[in-house]
Structure 1
Amino acid sequence: QKLSECEFVCDVDGIYDSENKRFDHHQLEYDGVLSSAGMIWQYLLDEKIIDASLYDYVNRAVIIGIDAHDNGRVLQQEGVCTLSHVIAGFVPIEYDAKEEERTAAFFVALDFAFEFFQRLLNRYAYIEACGDKVAAAMVPNEKVLIFDEALPWQEKFFDLGGEKHPALFLIMPTGVHWKLRGIPPNRENKMGVRIPLPKEWAGLRGAELQKVTGIPGAIFCHKGRFISIWETKEDAQKALDIILKRRGESS
């Protein structure tokens, strides 16, 4: 049997035995939440091939979803396309496709998956490299995080105890402009904010937003009231001051 010649056996053979590098989840004896993807990712952690920080990042980003999809623990939601769906899209369309066609499609999918995970690892490395800058912005322990360059901040912010940090807003460059963004309450609710932008700003652009705020550099406020765009850093700071003044606070 060819499987006996393999160092790693994944998603087939009905055995989960990480010591012998067998990673299947289809057998009746296994009732855990991992698919073969999660089993292998756990193995890499246990063998210290990856560290806990990288494990958590990739696990949250994609592995948990793959496991849930593969084990049937999530319902198919109309209009939602996951990584699992994308990979499945490489399967030949015709059900009676020849073995050579299936093999060729597998390697195309493999190349795509490799590139995807390589970019994910590169993104993780970039986030980690920016960690000291995020930590420094948190030190003043104030109601706003201010960055003079665009960088990934959310992951490290919450890694460093951001859920208990008093910051309500963030000011950061975005292209040639600046953004004033509400900070999420926690890692799990990334689209939420601790304090929304003023209701009367919602959805306004240009002259309309300039009129209601009194700030000539006002450009746009999202109707969801979680982010706004301003011409300069000073404009974003003025907008923040308006919000905090209404709350009887200062930055």
Structure 2
Amino acid sequence: MWSRGLASVCARTSNACIFGSNLKPTRLPVQAWHSRLSAFGCLRGNRVDLREIVGTTGVANAMDQVAGMATAVLDAASSVAGSLKRKQEKKVGTHNGTFHCDEALGCFMIRMTEKFGGAEVVRTRDQKILDTLDAVLDVGGTYNPEIDRYDHHQRGFDQVFGHGFATKLSSAGLVYKHYGEEIVAKELGLDLQHPDVERVYLAVYKSFMEAIDAVDNGIRQYDTDSPPKYANDTYLSARVGRLNPDWMDENGPEKEDQAFHQAMELAGKEFLENLRYYGRSWLPARSIVAECLAARKDAHESGEIMILKQFCPWKQHLFELEQELQLKPTIKYVVYQDDRSGSWRVQAVALSPGMFESRKALPAPWRGLRDEELSKVAGIEGGVFVHMSGFIGGANSFQGTMEMAKRALAFSETA
């Protein structure tokens, strides 16, 4: 084996190399093989029987054969090392001084890409230095994705994410716009063209990235001039801001850069948590709701009752899918099994996300009733309860709960 064979290879004289293990020693001119000897070292531990090779091909041919194997390994290692070196040589620039969430997150994200993986982050406002860097974020007065310049402070900048979003982009939003799909595909382990990549890409912008853009650009969340009734400094941009060195401490570029890298880690960690939630939880739930929505007429001929065959977060998906499919009529009730109690529920769908008012609440005569009284009034078996607001109720069996949904759909408050 190589662990023994290579030991013999290394037993050299000034003019010859002793080659073999339990073989007849053979002297070959060192000059002919000297350039190849280092290549043998990389094969140590490989399960190749040197004696077999020599026995069938002869010593000289064996050395040619094995040296070729070693050279191939070294070439591959050299290629990988060269690739890593090229990545390490990339430099991404942003401004020094007080930092914000957008450039901290932008630097984190761009270093997740194939093009800028492991790139060094350079913090400066010196334009001569910025001009030499491979990418520049949040400084430099230029937005040009072809040369990886992602500033948003210059006059006339009006870039938005698109896809129905109208919020002005920050440097983080610009990086996400151009590299987000690559990052999502990598994290989900999917091909870039897979439809789930775009779904998660858009969902992450809506749920996470847009707020970063809006806060950095000073865009109000609500159209009102009234002052807020309470302070909220718990959001990501505020927490990143607090990582800046305190004004009362002695500060220098080194301490400031250390704080910036902390900010990158914090923003990046939350970004990845959000992305992974959408990939591992949100996306499977959407598939379940889409499947159940497609089978709605199997549940009831009206198409207004949906049976959720597996419990999952369904409300947001239902609204979005109805809009995408331009569904008419819309779903009025969702029947599902509670994942904790195991009992069955019928829930009235809200008019829109975040609203308490239902499209068609459970009948007023049922509200607040329980058990036998509810069963009697509603005309069903095994009634358990109906909430006072009429937004949810249930029975002790699937059949009883489905009957509640059907009777509620047919019920007229004016009758």
Query: TM-score over 0.5 for the alignment?
Result: yes
Q: Please state if 1:37 is matched with 2:172.
A: yes
Is the partner of 2:152 in helix, strand or coil?
Answer: coil
Go from structure 1 to structure 2 and tell me whether the alpha carbon gap of 1:58 and 1:111 turns closer, same or farther (over 3 Å shift). Answer: closer
Deviation readout 1:126-159 (Å, 9 max, x if unpaired) = 1354365234323546221113321344426326
Alignment partner for residue 183 of structure 1, among 324, 349, 365? Answer: 349
RMSD of the alignment, in Å?
3.8
**CA distance 1:113–1:58, shift in 2 (3 Å):** closer
> What's 2:328 paired with?
164
Cα deviation, residue 214, structure 1 = 6.1
Counterpart contact for 1:209–1:218, Cα < 8 Å: no
Instruction: Identify which of 44, 58, 76 aligns with 2:204.
Output: 58
Cα 1:242–1:128, aligned 2, differ >3 Å: closer, same or farther?
A: closer
1:233 corresponds to: 398
Which deviates the most, 69-78 or 112-121? 69-78
The corresponding residue for 2:310 is: 149
The 2-side partners of 1:149 and 1:80 are apart by: 40
Number of equivalenced pairs: 244
1:133-144 to structure 2, matched below 5 A, reads 133-140=291-298, 142-144=303-305
Cα distance between partner residues in 2 of 1:209 and 1:39: 60
Structure-2 change in CA distance of 1:127 and 1:77 (3 Å)? farther
- Corresponding residue number in structure 2 for 1:119: 277
Moved more, 84-93 or 44-53: 44-53
2:68 matched residue in structure 1 = none
Q: Give unpaired runs (5+ residues) of structure 1.
A: none
Match of 1:107 in 2: 265
Unaligned runs of 5+ in 2: 1-92, 94-121, 123-129, 160-167, 186-191, 222-226, 250-254
2:193 aligned with 1:27: no
Change in CA separation of 1:112 and 1:181 when aligned onto 2, cut-off 3 Å: same
State which structure, 1 or 2, has the greater radius of gyration over its C-alpha atoms: 2
- Report the equivalent of 1:73: 219
Cα distance change of structure 1 residues 240 and 92 upon mapping to structure 2, 3 Å threshold: same
Secondary structure of the 1:150 match is coil
Does 2:345 correspond to 1:195?
no
Once the two structures are TM-superposed, the CA of residue 177 in structure 1 deviates from its matched residue by 1.8
Alpha carbons of structure 1 residues 170 and 120: separation in structure 2 relative to 1, 3 Å: same
Change (3 A) 1:4 1:218: farther
- TM-superposed deviation, 1:199: 3.8
Q: Normalising to structure 2: TM-score of the pair?
A: 0.48
Taking the aligned partners of 2:285 and 2:133, their CA distance within structure 1 comes to: 36
State the secondary structure of the residue aligned to 2:280: helix
Write the distance in 1 (CA, Å) between the matches of 2:307 and 2:399: 11
Distance 1:40 1:147, change over 3 A: same
In 1, the alpha carbon distance for the partners of 2:393 and 2:244 equals 45
CA separation in 2, counterparts of 1:66 and 1:230? 44
Relative to the length of structure 1, the TM-score reads 0.73
